[in-house]
């Protein structure tokens, strides 16, 4: 069987990136560690929260200058929004503040799990798409919701691996695999729940186009080293998928054939 075709670049809304890691900027011990982690990861897209930047005239000003110095693509998010109206207003303010029509769209439906409100998400996505936003929606692996998000104008989907900050990895691997098969031509990025580089590699081995994470790096004992590890794991997973992974089997299969080997069929060696 031929190996799957894989684009060497991650392309989102017509822009191409060498790295398939999208990195969050919240919760780091210091701005300096954030900057070093971002560089070590190789990430070219950073997510930023409008709520953090609302204090730009005070401590937020230093953060803004740091992000500008990194010279990376900014992806504002609507984190913490619980209604379509709130998410739309936050996206509009983010466009004014950050000077970009890219938005990571979040509409939270449950405070305990931080699971997306899929109905509100579709409503907000449709309204923002009509305003020209390039939307990267934080969603689940639900196929019906995914179809509606694509119909609403989303050219990228970002299903969760597991609840935000849980570090549980891919809780519904079959569901994520089905989503990939159902949307072979839509960029898919696993967002949330990634706790270890092995989780990120697993997502990429399923054929996903990228991984977005924050807490697993920001809260690591050594965020800079962990960021580098994630960058390598994502690249390794992508290369493995492109090379063509062996399918699991129920029975053993000898790696060395018996036919033609010394003593094959003799029963015993005298």
List residues forming the annotated binding site for 1-deoxy-D-xylulose 5-phosphate: 165, 192-193, 214-215
CA pair distance 194, 204, nearest whole angstrom:
12
Q: What b/e string do you get for 136-172 counting C-beta neighbours within 10 Å, with b at 16 or more?
A: bbbbbbeeebbebbbebbbbbbbbbbbbbbbbebbee
Name the β-bridge partners of 210. Answer: 189
Q: Residue 146, CB half-sphere, CA atoms under 13 Å: how many?
A: 22
Binding site: residue ranges? 165, 192-193, 214-215
CA pair distance 224, 209, nearest whole angstrom:
23
At a CB cut-off of 8 Å and minimum separation 6, what does 37 contact? 23, 28, 217, 218, 223, 224, 226, 227
167 contacts 134 by C-beta, under 8 angstroms: no
Catalytic residue among 39, 104, 126, 232: 104
Confirm whether 104 is a catalytic residue. yes
223 contacts 28 by C-beta, under 8 angstroms: yes
> What 3-state class would DSSP assign to 62?
helix
Pick from 70, 67, 64, 75: which is nearest to 13 by CA? 75
At a CB cut-off of 8 Å and minimum separation 6, what does 21 contact? 41, 42, 43, 200, 210, 211, 212, 213, 230, 231, 234
74 contacts 49 by C-beta, under 8 angstroms: no
Burial of 105 (0-12, 13-18, 19+ CB in 10 A): buried
Catalytic annotation, residues: 104
């Amino acid at each position: 069987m031929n190996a799957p075709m894989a684009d060497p670049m991650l392309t989102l809304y017509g822009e191409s990136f060498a790295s398939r890691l999208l990195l969050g900027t919240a919760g780091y011990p210091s701005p300096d560690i954030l900057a070093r982690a971002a560089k070590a990861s190789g990430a070219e897209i950073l997510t930023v929260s409008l709520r953090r930047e609302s204090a730009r005239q005070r401590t937020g000003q230093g953060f803004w200058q740091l992000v500008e110095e990194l010279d990376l693509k900014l992806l504002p998010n609507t984190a913490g929004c619980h209604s379509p109206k709130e998410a739309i207003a936050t996206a509009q303010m983010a466009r004014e503040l950050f000077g970009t029509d890219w938005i990571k769209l979040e509409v939270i439906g449950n405070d305990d799990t931080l699971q997306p409100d899929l109905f509100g998400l579709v409503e907000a996505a449709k309204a923002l798409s009509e305003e020209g936003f390039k939307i990267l929606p934080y969603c689940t692996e639900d196929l019906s919701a995914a179809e509606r998000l694509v119909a609403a104008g989303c050219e990228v989907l970002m299903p969760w691996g597991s609840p935000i900050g849980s570090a549980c990895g891919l809780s519904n691997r079959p569901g994520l695999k089905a989503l990939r098969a159902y949307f072979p031509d839509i960029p898919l990025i696993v967002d949330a729940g990634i706790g270890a580089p092995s989780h990120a590699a697993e997502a990429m081995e399923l054929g996903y186009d990228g991984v977005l994470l924050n807490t697993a790096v920001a809260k690591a004992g050594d965020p800079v080293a962990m960021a580098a590890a994630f960058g390598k794991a994502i690249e390794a997973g992508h290369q493995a998928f492109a090379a063509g992974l062996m399918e699991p089997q129920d029975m053993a299969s000898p790696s060395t054939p018996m036919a033609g080997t010394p003593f094959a069929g003799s029963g015993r060696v005298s």
